[in-house]
């Protein structure tokens, strides 16, 4: 993997990462903004996700109907994502057509219209999107558990926002959020692919260099103490499958405990990739929870996930309960497995396998042009690019004692939320 990255900062404060990759005549262009659900106040949740939608509604130079046509005409693709801590927009185009992405993103950094009629149209779309999610058992369970996982922190609210807020947010609320956070000194431009760095820097300066910086709002998120007692919630619905969700407060990405936690997760549930844009998959059949829950026919499937975030977020374990079993039986077997990890020494061979799987997942999620551009911006959202560059080295340092310490410190009953999704006719 080529790790030579050019990093500069424009006079307006915009951070730029460039990586030449000449394996194919393609360029992946990303603009990342340090704004997400974490930056939203009570009563205004869902702003960042809605602003992301409005960025596809056009400017005077690129009217809404022309945007898709322009990208498609050049043989490209584009999309966007909003998360807890960030919002990202990307285009992948033939190398000789990348000027379109540069011009388009620079234009909508400043000139998105937020037409009142489009705002109202998109309100209907987003509320409909949320109501669709509400028909999904795991969304409803996730929302209930996430809400109990925090008392004050904005992480307690789903990125899409509360339905009541989506009904009352105004065009002025959206535009104020856009003008406050979608500015060059709050952005990271990450470009990887088939280009000459010196030529690309000239293009970037031409398109982005003249955009004025702005005074940034203070980011509002606050620290919360660890959970000090188990919290439980039961969600019911027409779905005939039962689910079990366990969520623990996890370390922030910059915490030294984050990498040992990744290996603990790999050992327990199988490796999970941090790359939200895509990457390879690895079976979790060698993981402890698969063997203790799925192979014993207590669960149909089990998985877990750890996110890289600015503040401590949640480590989630989810099991689909076997039709012949109860959630309580799955929870009991799960607790036995966690206690075994806490009480019995982990073998070096098991850690070696967990590290190997985590390494493979990381490499699969870093190998193509778009993934490498992704990481240049993504790592800057919660740490810096050095976090990505030292990722594999940090994994290699993990010992059995580190993993056991993670289990003893974080995976405690008094520091978790337990969520049950039960069919409506089934007793909790």
Question: pLDDT (tens digit, 9 = 90+) per residue, 7-46?
Answer: 999 999 999 999 999 999 999 999 999 999 999 999 999 9
Quote the pLDDT of residue 277: 60
Q: What is the pLDDT of residues 368-414, one digit of tens each?
A: 899 999 999 999 999 999 999 999 999 999 999 999 999 999 999 99
- Distance from C-alpha of 237 to C-alpha of 401, rounded to nearest angstrom: 42
Q: State whether residue 193 is helix, strand or coil.
A: strand
Instruction: Identify the residue whose tokens are 């008094």.
Output: 414
Quote the pLDDT of residue 198: 98
Does residue 1 have a pLDDT over 50? no
Token pair in block for residue 350: 């098991």
Quote the pLDDT of residue 364: 79
- Residues of 174-201 as b/e, b for ≥16 C-beta within 10 angstroms? bbebbebbbbbbbbbbbbbbbbeeeebb
Token pair in block for residue 359: 């390494």
Find out if CATH 3.30.830.10 is the number for domain 231-423.
yes
Q: Of the candidates 200, 186, 308, 328, which has an alpha carbon nearest to the alpha carbon of residue 255?
A: 308
Quote the pLDDT of residue 282: 66
Degrees to nearest 5, angle at CA 316 with 386 and 417: 130
Q: What is the pLDDT of residues 121-139, one digit of tens each?
A: 999 999 999 999 999 999 9
Token pair in block for residue 406: 């993670």
Degrees to nearest 5, angle at CA 335 with 334 and 338: 90
Does residue 67 have a pLDDT over 90? no
Sequence spans of domains, the chain: 6-208, 231-423
Q: What is the pLDDT of residues 150-188, one digit of tens each?
A: 999 999 999 999 999 999 999 999 999 999 999 999 999
Q: Which residues make Cβ contacts (< 8 Å) with residue 383, sequence separation at least 6?
A: 253, 254, 308
Indicate the helix (H) or strand (E) that contains 320.
Answer: strand 314-321
Classify the phi-psi angles of 91: left when phi > 0, otherwise alpha if psi is within -120 to 50, otherwise beta: beta
Q: Of the candidates 204, 217, 202, 236, which has an alpha carbon nearest to the alpha carbon of residue 419?
A: 236
Q: What is the pLDDT of residues 293-347, one digit of tens each?
A: 999 999 999 999 999 999 999 999 999 999 999 999 999 999 999 999 999 999 9
Please state the rounded mean pLDDT for residues 72-76: 92
Q: What percentage of the chain exceeds 70 in pLDDT?
A: 96
Find out whether 399 and 354 touch, Cβ atoms under 8 Å: no
Do 6-208 and 231-423 share a fold?
yes
Q: Which residues pair with 356 in a beta bridge?
A: none
Find out whether 353 and 10 touch, Cβ atoms under 8 Å: no
Instruction: Identify the residue whose tokens are 């990722």.
Output: 391
Q: How many CB atoms lie within 10 A of CB 95?
A: 13
Average pLDDT of the chain is: 94
- Please count the CA atoms within 13 angstroms of the CA of 23 that sit on its side-chain side: 11
Q: Which residues make Cβ contacts (< 8 Å) with residue 384, sequence separation at least 6?
A: none
Quote the pLDDT of residue 68: 85
Does residue 278 have a pLDDT over 70? no
What are the DSSP calls for 127-176, one per residue?
HHHHHHHHTSHHHHHHHHHHHHH-SSSGGGS-TT--HHHHHH--HHHHHH
Does residue 427 have a pLDDT over 60? no
pLDDT band at 426 (very low <50, low <70, confident <90, very high): low
Spell out the CATH class of 6-208. alpha beta
Quote the pLDDT of residue 307: 95
Quote the pLDDT of residue 394: 96
């Amino acid at each position: 993997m080529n790790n030579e990255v050019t990093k500069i900062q424009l006079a307006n404060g915009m951070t730029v990462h460039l990586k030449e990759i000449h394996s194919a005549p393609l360029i992946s262009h990303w603009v990342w903004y340090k704004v997400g659900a974490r930056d939203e106040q009570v009563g205004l949740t869902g702003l960042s996700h809605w602003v992301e939608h409005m960025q596809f509604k056009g400017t005077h130079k690129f009217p809404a109907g022309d945007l898709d046509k322009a990208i498609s005409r050049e043989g490209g693709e584009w999309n966007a994502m909003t998360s807890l801590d960030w919002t990202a927009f990307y285009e992948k185009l033939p190398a000789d057509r990348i000027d379109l992405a540069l011009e388009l993103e620079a234009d909508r950094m400043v000139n998105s219209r937020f037409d009142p009629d489009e705002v109202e149209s998109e309100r209907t779309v987003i509320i409909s999107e949320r109501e669709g999610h509400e028909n999904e058992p795991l969304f409803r369970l996730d929302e209930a558990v996430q809400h109990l996982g925090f008392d004050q922190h904005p992480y307690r609210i789903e990125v899409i926002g509360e339905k009541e807020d989506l009904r009352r947010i105004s065009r002025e609320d959206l535009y104020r959020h856009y003008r406050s956070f979608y500015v060059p000194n709050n952005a990271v431009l990450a470009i990887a692919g088939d280009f000459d760095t010196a030529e690309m820097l000239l293009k970037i300066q031409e398109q982005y260099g003249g955009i004025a910086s702005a005074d940034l709002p203070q980011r509002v998120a606050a620290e919360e103490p660890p959970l000090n007692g188990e919290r439980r919630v039961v969600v019911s619905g027409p779905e005939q499958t039962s689910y079990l969700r366990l969520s623990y407060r996890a370390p922030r990405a910059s915490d030294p405990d984050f990498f040992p936690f990744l290996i603990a997760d790999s050992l327990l549930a199988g490796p999970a990739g941090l790359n939200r844009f895509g990457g390879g998959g690895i079976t979790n059949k060698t993981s402890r929870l698969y063997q203790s829950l799925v192979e014993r026919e207590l669960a149909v499937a089990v998985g877990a996930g750890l996110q890289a975030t600015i503040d401590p977020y949640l480590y989630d374990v989810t099991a689909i309960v076997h039709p012949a079993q109860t959630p309580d039986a799955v929870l009991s077997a799960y607790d036995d497995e966690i206690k075994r990890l806490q009480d019995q020494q982990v073998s070096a061979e098991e850690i070696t396998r967990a590290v190997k799987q985590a390494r493979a997942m990381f490499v699969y999620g870093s190998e193509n042009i778009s993934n490498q551009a992704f990481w240049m911006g993504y790592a800057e959202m919660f740490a810096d690019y050095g976090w990505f560059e030292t990722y594999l080295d940090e994994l290699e340092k993990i010992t059995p004692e580190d993993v056991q310490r993670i289990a003893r410190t974080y995976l405690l009953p008094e520091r978790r939320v337990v969520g049950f999704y039960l069919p409506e006719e089934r007793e909790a």
